[in-house]
């Protein structure tokens, strides 16, 4: 183990405490010195033994002296009202003195050089820079380089490099990347099973091993799609569940499964107690099964693992509270492509098996031929077999009845008895079902059995799963009767003919899996034996021909972004609420901290976010009015979560929490969305020359952050200090209303916030009026391609206008990177890393895809481009270059996109990448999709690149010429990268979208899509509700330095030298890993610092707020992410209360050691976490490992223990508070 920085780290962690102590000492010293000077005028201290003999001096103080001292303190109190704590310390010290006790003070001798209070302690960056020179001829020279800052580098526990470097994905029998390499994707006609092949069977096959058929009635209930979730509920779902209760009692052999807890909870709330009791009994009897048990059946492409886990926990907690059941089988029949992340999550939640449906027809056909439709799904990164999850893949086109009984839909449709003549739906194959009678049962049973046998021959066992259902089925009593009575007759006939060797019955999903496991399990455990291991994922899905479903990776980007906004808000609120509510309880504050109403808001937010994970919600594939319904719910919860944060922060920063009195109007948010489809608007903080305004920052990450923040304020001339009166370097910018107009009453203020892990910190901002603080700068601006030229003053700012293009390509840089922009377009051309001077081409372009001329065109689901994307026409766009010591940016106004590239001058992670913000508006286009392309000169072999799956893991992709453009697009929930042996380019995103790498070195990302027609997948509309959308990215260029870590690895007992430097590394691996910096940049983008400003009316009291609060003593190791600290709830009908218990979720991330962890002050230590550090602020009484969603209890742990998390694992712990 290596942890060179541990000692340093520990010191930093205690910096705050020490600092407070020293501050107290310093002020005390100032008082003593002032006192000393006064006394000096009346008394002789000639006999003093030395200038530093403070003790001696103190002993000579009289009561009169102490009075003077107290007066001084009074004055100090006024000046230093921001530091109540220090004053208290001083008071105590003086009290001791007046009682003749010499206080035990910190080492005053060392503090003698401390500046007096009028002086300031300037924090990083240490050098003070001159304000901007406003002489126009100097403009171009100003702020070419930001102040030099030194950055930390993560210390890595070298053994950990092995995980990312070791070969992975190679223990599988089926590696999906290999399948893609080998398949021809030629789609020949397969006969009745159009996308498959002819299946021949012989009745003898089942002679010794009778066929066992489980017919599984189900009803697929989308929580919103064509109708809103409420409308569906009232029109259909309520009847389905009401009838379920009646009909399952009537038909003793009937069974049923249910997947969506959102609907079940709605029904539960309004149904009778009798119905609830019957439902419980049906579950106990195994007649009704809850499958997956999530709030919704979540989308698997666009979702982030935080929200996937959260929606599963929400469902599982509801089930525990009301039904006392633990689901054990997963059911994912409609999501459009499938992720191994889901397999991992279900496995760790204690599930035994899972079922999936929407997989590329060519992949299904391949696996069917090989009898590999049932497999153990293993994570690519799993070096063992612990993640193996038994998975059943359905073989045919759809989950409806025509595609589930066997290969021939024309036949299967005749066994969907809802389609009996006279009903509302029929069979498109033109042969209608007929009721089963004594006359036709023999023939009908024989035909159905033939389908069953054919389907069964695609699987290894003699046990067959046959779903019976469709969307919103079983809503009418007649359908229950039709399906039951007709199938019962068929089954009785089949089962009655012994020579047919078949046993058919209604079943649940777990009836099927239970039978398979029973038959195939080994001697130990329940793991089925004899099935292949499969690794990889099932993107990009197509159901037929070239109809690839890669459009929904981007459709409705406004709401995809909003999803991440609520996710971040919810996580932030969960954590701070849990801390505040626990402290409030432990301090006996009672209901003054309103934990009840806050937990209700949190619960609603969990459910609104969970609802949006549905596979027609976050996917952007619902009708316009349904999208509005989702958007409204998201917005309500975003706003609620700010309220939860504000009250929790207010409580935690209150100087005396025991006397806490709540105030509803205390803080304000820094930005607000006024409508569900509007961008957030920054609020203007009104500054005063009389008193400082207060802003409180909240770092939701368990790592230290130094990060630039942007506020709108009423003055361009300000002074920023932290609560200890340290002056903070700041910069003001003009606020641009459109291309060239600027606001005259509000300005943008930027400064770097330095904040502890899970920390709250107060900063003070004061209007300086006419006087200029040496620590504040005004940025300069130059505009190109504007009418007129010359320099004009806008307030104190100077703006230069130039009608021509910049004379040559121009640059923007900080200490680490230098970006070059094109003189004609203003767009990025290349990026230099200054540490090695290496330049990487990063040519940025915007392009448009059209859609094919055929009838079937792109729509909400499908992407059907009419060929390669074409660059947008750029003709002398307005280019605006703003430069300052902390932030510089290049703005370009292009057709359909306002493009902004920002570079920041902090010591933190945000200084390491280029920030890209696109304001996209394609409302004036027709059938077009706007993309951003970054063309690098990085030679990634075989057009191999990586995209993330659910923000949880990185999956290798390879662009294949045998597939059309749309098939080479993949989901990108949070990042993509490509690399050569020396350089990696990562694009990190704030929201999910489609991504491709069509040529070597390129990354294409889809920004928005506007499509005028339906794409024939049931939505029956195009996507025309586009909004003005703000989309953020970070472009990160990293150099492979192998370096420091390799040296240490060489000496390690298990040499990893070969893995790190040897040939094997040139072959791309199925699982990729971001660097620690890549992780940190991504998580910072997802979880911004939250800013709350004190309302003017609370200025007086807000100055009393303690300056800083931190939950953790020390930051967590770099590779450990605090995923959530989620208060558990006690729920009964119509009531929700917080429990004194929370789920702590920690994720240890895998990372690639070859790229240095720049700008990170953390270290890694082999996955060790100290519970003492985590809960130092909270009095806990129990700590217990649980399964991922908390359904199963694991080991009880010592309250004070250190525990270890394995790489890539997400672990859940139940924390009980006093
Ligand atoms: Zn669906």
- Cα 225 to ligand 1 centre (Å): 8
- Give the separation between CA 1046 and CA 156, rounded to whole angstroms: 11
471 CA → ligand 1 middle, Å: 7
Residue 543 Cα to ligand 1 middle (Å): 15
pLDDT given at position 158: 74
- Quick one: residue 304, left, alpha or beta (phi over 0 = left, psi -120 to 50 = alpha)? beta
CA–centroid distance, residue 782 to ligand 1 (Å): 52
- How remote is the CA of residue 284 from the centroid of ligand 1, in Å? 27
What tokens appear for 261 in the block?
């807890």
Structure tokens at 1107: 């300056």
Distance 298 CA to ligand 1 centre (A): 9
From the CA of 619, how far away is ligand 1's center (Å)?
11
This prediction has a pTM of 0.88
User: What is the total residue count of the chain?
Assistant: 1218
Taking the C-alpha atoms of residue 618 and residue 611, their distance in angstroms, rounded to an integer, is 9
User: What's the number of CA atoms in the CB half-sphere (13 Å) around residue 168?
Assistant: 24
HEC-encoded secondary structure of 107-170: CCCCCCCCCCCCCCCECCCCCCCCCCCCCHHHHHHCCCECCCCCCCECECCHHHHHHHHCCCCC
Start-to-end Cα distance in the chain:
36
- 539 Cα–ligand 1 center, Å: 17
**CA 537 to ligand 1 center in whole angstroms:** 20
Rounded Cα distance, 1201 and 1218, in Å: 18
CB 732 within 8 A of CB 779: yes
β 1193-1197/1180-1186 pair status: antiparallel
Point out the residues of the chain with pLDDT beneath 50: 1-62, 66, 68, 71-144, 1043-1066
For 188-241, what is each residue's pLDDT tens digit?
A: 999 999 999 999 999 899 999 999 999 999 999 999 999 999 999 999 999 999
Distance 620 CA to ligand 1 centre (A): 13
If you ran DSSP here, which 8-state letter would residue 415 be given? G
Q: What is the pLDDT of residue 770?
A: 87
Compute, in angstroms, the gap from residue 273 CA to the centroid of ligand 1: 30
For ligand 1, the distance from its centroid to the CA atom of residue 616, given in whole angstroms, is 7
CA-CA distance, 140 to 144, in Å (whole number)?
8
Which class for 55: exposed (0-12), middle (13-18), buried (19 or more C-beta within 10 A)? exposed
Q: If you measure from the C-alpha of residue 624 to the centroid of ligand 1, how many angstroms do you get, rounded to a whole number?
A: 17
pLDDT at 181: 97
The answer to whether residues 474 and 244 touch, using CB atoms and an 8 Å cutoff, is yes
Q: How far is the CA of 334 from the centre of ligand 1 (A)?
A: 5
Return the number of other C-beta atoms located less than 10 Å from residue 481's C-beta.
16
Q: How far apart are the CA of 357 and the centre of ligand 1, in A?
A: 12
Residue 45, CA distances (Å) to 37, 41, 61, 816 in order = 11, 10, 12, 55
Integer-rounded Cα Rg, in Å, for the chain is 33
Residue 412 phi, psi dihedral angles, 5° rounding: -60, -35
* pLDDT at position 1067: 59
What is the model's pLDDT at position 63? 53
Cβ-proximal residues to 1006 (8 Å cutoff; 6+ apart), any chain: 553, 554, 929, 930, 931, 969, 993, 994, 995
Q: Would residue 400 show up in a list of annotated catalytic residues for this protein?
A: no
Residues 1033 and 986: their CA atoms lie apart, in Å, by 10
How many whole angstroms from 223 Cα to the centroid of ligand 1?
A: 8
> What is the per-residue pLDDT for 591?
85
Residue among 334, 563, 722, 754 flagged as catalytic: 334
Ligand 1 centroid, distance to 754 Cα (angstroms) = 46
pLDDT at position 1103, please? 72
pLDDT at 338: 98
User: Ligand 1 mean position to 331 CA, how many Å?
Assistant: 12
Query: What is the widest separation between alpha-carbon atoms in the chain?
Result: 126
> How far apart, in whole angstroms, are the C-alpha atoms of residue 1133 and residue 595?
19
Strands 797-802 and 790-794: antiparallel
pLDDT at 818: 97
> Are the C-beta atoms of 553 and 992 separated by less than 8 Å?
yes
- CA 77–ligand 1 middle distance (angstroms): 64
- pLDDT, position 83: 42
Number of neighbouring beta carbons within 10 Å of residue 801: 17
Task: Name residue, tokens 């070298």.
Answer: 158
Other residues' Cβ atoms within 10 Å of the Cβ of residue 1128: 20
How many angstroms separate the alpha carbon of residue 958 from the centre of ligand 1?
29
Q: Ligand 1 center to residue 487 CA distance, Å?
A: 25
d(Cα 448, Cα 43) in Å, to the nearest integer?
A: 113
pLDDT of residue 1014: 98
Cα 220 to ligand 1 centroid, rounded to whole Å: 6
Give the distance (Å) from ligand 1 centre to CA of residue 311: 16
Cα(470) to centroid(ligand 1), Å: 9
- With tokens 């704030």, the residue in question is 990
pLDDT at 47: 33
Per-residue HEC secondary structure of 962-1018 comes to CCCHHHHCEEECCEEEEECCCEEEEEEECCCEEEECCCCCEEEEEEEEEECCCCCCC
Query: Could you tell me the distance, in angstroms and rounded to a whole number, from the CA of residue 291 to the centre of ligand 1?
Result: 15
CA 222 to centroid of ligand 1, rounded, Å: 5
848 phi-psi bin (left φ>0, alpha ψ -120 to 50, beta other): beta
**Integer Cα distance of 708 and 913 in angstroms:** 13
């Amino acid at each position: 183990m290596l942890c060179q920085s541990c000692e340093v780290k520990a010191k930093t962690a205690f910096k705050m405490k020490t600092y407070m102590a020293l501050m107290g000492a310093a002020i005390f010293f100032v008082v003593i010195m002032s006192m000393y000077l006064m006394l000096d005028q009346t008394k002789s201290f000639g006999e003093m033994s030395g200038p530093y003999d403070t003790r001696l001096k103190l002993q000579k103080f009289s009561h009169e002296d102490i009075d003077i001292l107290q007066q001084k303190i009074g004055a100090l109190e006024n000046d230093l009202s921001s530091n109540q704590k220090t004053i208290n310390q001083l008071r105590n010290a003086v009290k001791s003195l007046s009682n003749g006790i010499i206080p035990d003070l910190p080492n005053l001798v060392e503090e003698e050089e401390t500046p007096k209070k009028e002086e300031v302690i300037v924090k990083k960056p240490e050098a003070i820079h001159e304000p901007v020179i406003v002489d126009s001829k100097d403009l171009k020279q100003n702020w070419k380089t930001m102040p030099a800052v030194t950055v930390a580098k993560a210390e890595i526990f070298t053994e950990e490099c092995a995980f990312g470097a070791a070969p992975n994905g190679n223990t599988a029998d089926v590696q999906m990347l290999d399948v893609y390499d080998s398949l021809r994707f030629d789609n020949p006609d397969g006969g009745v099973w159009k996308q498959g092949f002819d299946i021949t069977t012989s009745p003898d096959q089942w002679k010794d091993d009778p066929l066992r058929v489980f017919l599984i009635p189900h009803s697929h209930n989308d929580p919103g799609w064509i109708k809103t979730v409420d409308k569906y509920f009232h029109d259909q779902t309520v009847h389905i569940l009401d009838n379920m209760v009646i009909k399952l009692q009537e038909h003793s052999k009937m069974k049923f499964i249910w997947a969506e807890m959102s609907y079940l909870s709605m029904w539960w709330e309004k149904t009778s107690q009798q119905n609830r009791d019957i439902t419980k009994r049906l579950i106990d009897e195994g007649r009704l099964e809850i499958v997956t048990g999530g709030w919704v059946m979540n989308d698997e492409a666009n979702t982030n693992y935080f929200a996937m886990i959260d929606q599963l926990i929400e469902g599982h907690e509801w089930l525990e509270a009301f039904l006392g059941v633990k689901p054990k089988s997963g059911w994912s029949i409609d999501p459009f492509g499938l992720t191994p992340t889901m397999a991992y999550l279900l496995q760790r939640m204690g599930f035994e098996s899972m079922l999936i449906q929407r997989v590329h027809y060519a992949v299904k056909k391949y696996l069917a031929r090989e009898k590999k439709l049932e497999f153990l799904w293993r994570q690519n990164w799993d070096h063992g077999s612990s993640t193996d999850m038994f998975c059943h893949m359905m073989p045919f086109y759809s989950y409806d009845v025509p595609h589930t009984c066997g290969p021939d839909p024309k036949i299967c449709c005749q066994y969907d008895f809802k389609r009996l003549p006279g009903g509302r739906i029929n069979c498109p194959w033109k042969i209608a079902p007929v009721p089963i009678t004594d006359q036709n049962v023999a023939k009908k049973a024989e035909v159905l059995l033939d389908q069953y046998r054919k389907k069964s021959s695609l699987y290894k066992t003699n046990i067959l799963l046959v779903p019976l259902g469709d969307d919103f089925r079983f809503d009418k009593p007649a359908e229950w009767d039709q399906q039951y009575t007709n199938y019962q007759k068929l089954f009785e006939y089949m089962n009655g003919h012994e020579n047919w060797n078949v046993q058919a019955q209604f079943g649940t999903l777990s009836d099927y899996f239970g039978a398979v496991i029973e038959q195939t399990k080994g001697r130990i455990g329940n793991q089925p034996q004899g099935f292949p291991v499969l690794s990889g994922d099932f993107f990009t899905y197509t159901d037929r021909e070239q109809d690839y479903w890669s459009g929904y990776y981007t459709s409705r980007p406004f709401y995809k972004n909003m999803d991440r906004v609520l996710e971040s808000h919810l996580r932030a609120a969960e954590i701070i609420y849990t801390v505040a509510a626990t402290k409030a309880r432990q301090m006996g504050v009672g209901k003054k901290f309103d934990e009840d109403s806050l937990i209700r808001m949190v619960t609603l937010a969990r459910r609104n976010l969970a609802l949006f994970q549905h596979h027609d919600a976050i996917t952007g594939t619902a009708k316009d009015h349904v999208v509005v319904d989702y958007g409204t719910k998201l917005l309500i919860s975003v706003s609620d979560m700010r309220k939860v944060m504000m009250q929790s922060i207010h409580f935690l920063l209150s100087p005396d929490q025991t006397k806490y009195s709540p105030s509803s109007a205390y803080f304000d948010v820094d930005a607000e969305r006024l409508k569900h489809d509007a961008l957030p608007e920054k609020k203007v903080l009104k500054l005063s020359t009389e008193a400082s305004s207060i802003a409180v920052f909240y770092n939701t990450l368990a790592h230290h952050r130094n990060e630039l923040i942007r506020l709108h304020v009423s003055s361009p001339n300000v002074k920023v200090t932290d609560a200890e009166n340290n002056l903070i370097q700041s910069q003001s910018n003009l606020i641009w209303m459109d291309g060239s107009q600027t606001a005259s009453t509000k300005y943008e203020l930027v400064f770097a916030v330095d904040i502890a892990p899970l920390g709250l910190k107060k900063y003070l901002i004061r209007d300086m009026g006419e006087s200029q603080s040496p620590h504040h700068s005004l940025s300069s601006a130059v505009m190109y391609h504007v009418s007129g030229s010359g320099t004009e003053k806008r307030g104190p700012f100077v703006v230069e206008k130039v009608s021509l293009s910049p004379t040559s390509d121009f640059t923007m840089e900080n200490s680490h990177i230098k970006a070059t922009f094109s003189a004609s377009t203003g767009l990025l051309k290349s990026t230099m890393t200054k540490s090695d001077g290496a330049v990487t081409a990063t040519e940025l372009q915007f392009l448009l895809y059209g859609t094919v001329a055929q009838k079937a065109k792109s729509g909400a689901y499908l992407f059907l481009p009419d060929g390669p994307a074409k660059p947008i026409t750029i003709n002398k766009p307005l280019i605006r270059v703003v430069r300052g010591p902390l932030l510089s940016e290049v703005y370009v106004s292009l057709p359909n996109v306002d493009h902004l590239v920002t570079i920041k001058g902090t010591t933190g992670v945000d200084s390491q990448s280029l920030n890209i913000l696109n304001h996209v508006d394609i409302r004036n286009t027709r059938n077009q999709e706007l993309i951003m392309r970054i063309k690098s000169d990085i030679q990634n072999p075989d057009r191999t690149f990586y995209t993330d799956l659910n923000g949880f893991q990185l999956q290798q992709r390879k662009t294949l010429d045998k597939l059309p453009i749309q098939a080479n697009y993949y989901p990108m929930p949070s990042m993509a990268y490509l690399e050569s042996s020396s350089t990696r380019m990562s694009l990190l995103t704030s929201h999910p979208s489609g991504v491709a790498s069509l040529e070597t070195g390129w990354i294409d990302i889809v920004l928005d899509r506007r499509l005028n027609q339906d794409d024939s997948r049931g939505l029956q509309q195009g996507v025309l509700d586009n909004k003005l959308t703000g989309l953020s990215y970070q472009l990160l260029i990293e150099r492979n330095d192998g370096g420091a870590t390799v040296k240490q690895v060489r000496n390690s007992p298990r040499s990893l030298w070969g893995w790190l430097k040897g040939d094997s590394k040139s072959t791309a691996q199925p699982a990729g890993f971001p660097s620690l910096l890549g992780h940190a940049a991504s998580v910072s983008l997802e979880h911004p610092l939250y800013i709350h400003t004190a309302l003017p009316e609370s200025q007086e009291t807000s100055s009393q707020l303690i300056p800083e609060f931190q939950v953790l003593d020390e930051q967590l190791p770099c590779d450990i992410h605090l995923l959530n600290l989620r208060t558990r709830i006690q729920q009964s009908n119509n009531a929700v209360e917080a429990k004194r218990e929370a789920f702590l979720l920690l994720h240890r991330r895998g990372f690639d050691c070859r790229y240095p962890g720049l700008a990170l002050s953390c270290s890694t230590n082999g996955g060790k976490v100290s519970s003492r550090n985590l809960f130092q602020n909270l009095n806990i009484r129990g700590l217990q490992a649980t399964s991922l969603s908390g359904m199963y209890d694991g080991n009880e742990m010592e309250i004070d223990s250190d525990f270890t998390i394995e790489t890539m694992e997400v672990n859940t712990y139940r924390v009980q508070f006093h």
